[in-house]
Amino acid sequence: MKLEKSIYYYTKGQKHLVGAVNSPVRAFKSVGGVPLIIEKAKGSKIYDVDNNEYIDFVLSYGPMILGHRNKYVESDIKKALRKGYTFGATSKGELKLAKLVCDAFPSIDKIRFVNSGTEAVLSAIRLARAYTGKQKIIKFSGCYHGHADALLVAAGSGLATLSLPGSDGVPKDAVKNTLIAEFNNIESVKKHFAKHKDIAGVIIEPIAGNMGVVQPEAKFLKELQSVVSKHKALLIADEVMTGFRSKFGGAQDLLGLKADITCLGKVIGGGFPVGAYGARNEIMEMVAPLGSMYQAGTLSGNPIAMACGYSTLKELKRKDPYKKFNKVAGYLEKAILEAAHKYEVEVQVNRFGSMINPFFTKEKVTNFATAQSCNTDQFKTFFWKLIEHGVFIPPSQFESWFLSTKFSKSDFEKTVAAINIAMETVAKKSK
């Protein structure tokens, strides 16, 4: 496999781009080597500048649930482009997408569109504080909620990949009101509420996707909701990753959770920069111009992004691929485990809907601590061998793989063959 052009552009890119990337995980620091420079994508495939073809399990970290360049979505984007790029005023597309999202989430009456998941989360935190009149927020170690100062502590994903406990430039005062609990450990939450009387809310990924697809254990979310309600705090569900990925709506519905505030992103933009936060009327009416909690954005509700998001959700609702996603993910899990068993490699596989991740560890992964028990050297070997055989997965042990509706039988067969070769290589290098 040739990567000469990727090497060339990566080297050239370092002059004007920080690390030749615009998001740290793209730098391949945790797997080594030179990152791929991507040229184009179509359907289930992505192509680098050397014209290597890969089956894409990254899917821009989730948004491309219909695969790349869906013909219906692309047609609607072109129609929107002909009307103008941005208006600085409300357009009909915002109203249509808002209704579609609200109808899919029983816990949301009103919604506010922003430009990213990070914006959605920082706005939701501000709203929880405004509504309750309290200051402190509980988050879970290993859950990543964007790069807002108050939440950039004990995060998963990128920080775990780079082995950073936090970030320089974040003042101590910015995180003094952030309390850390352990995912799947309700007692760690209760202890905070026993000690602090000014907790505004608890934020959680219903499926912890930024430590590699970790599901809540039985009763954990139910108990969490009860504790939060008892103390008159708000429960914030960060469904930036999981929204519309496991059903036409949120993972919270499947898990029996009813969030006070829900954060969304990724799929609702269909590949364009869109985030959102929503809640029942009495909470959202705190937001300006109806209330005193201020939040604004020049490009929020951008008409092109709204058109792409609406078209994506409309097509997703028509296709209703969720049963098939579960079935395919089950087949993929079986293939990974069989290959690992065949070559005596210790692997755990976690999955939920169209999200799946193999962990190179013998421990069941239920929280950030167990996720960190993984053998990341084995993952590096596995990653590059898959790349070599035309399968593109996230360059981090702590990121989910994603499925799209364009993933075909031949894609599956090629992926399984590559997984077997990769596991055999891992086994040989581990001896």
Catalytic positions, please? Answer: 144, 238, 266
Angle (nearest 5°) at CA 303 between 149 and 124: 25
**Given the DSSP bridges, would you call strands 45-48 and 53-56 parallel, antiparallel or unpaired?**
antiparallel
CA distance between the termini of the chain:
26
Q: How far apart are CA 430 and CA 240, in angstroms?
A: 37
Residue 297 and residue 345: Cα distance in Å, rounded? Answer: 49
Angle at 224 between CA 220 and CA 226, to 5 degrees: 120
At position 306, the amino acid (one-letter code) is: M
Element (H, E) at 305: helix 303-319
CA–CA distance, 178 with 166 (Å, rounded to integer): 13
With contact defined as beta carbons under 8 Å apart, do 404 and 44 qualify?
Answer: yes
Give phi and psi for 398, each to the nearest 5.
-105, 25
Cα gap 13→204, rounded to integer Å: 36
Best CA proximity match to 389, nearest among 411, 412, 421: 421
SS3 159: helix
CA gap 398, 55 in Å, rounded: 20
- The Cα 125–Cα 130 span in angstroms is 9
Ranges of H-type helices in 85-219: 92-104, 117-132, 157-161, 172-175, 186-195
Distances (CA, A) of 369 to 164, 165, 218, 379: 15, 13, 19, 17
**Residue 12 in contact with residue 34, Cβ under 8 Å?**
no
In angstroms, the CA 374 to CA 324 distance is: 29
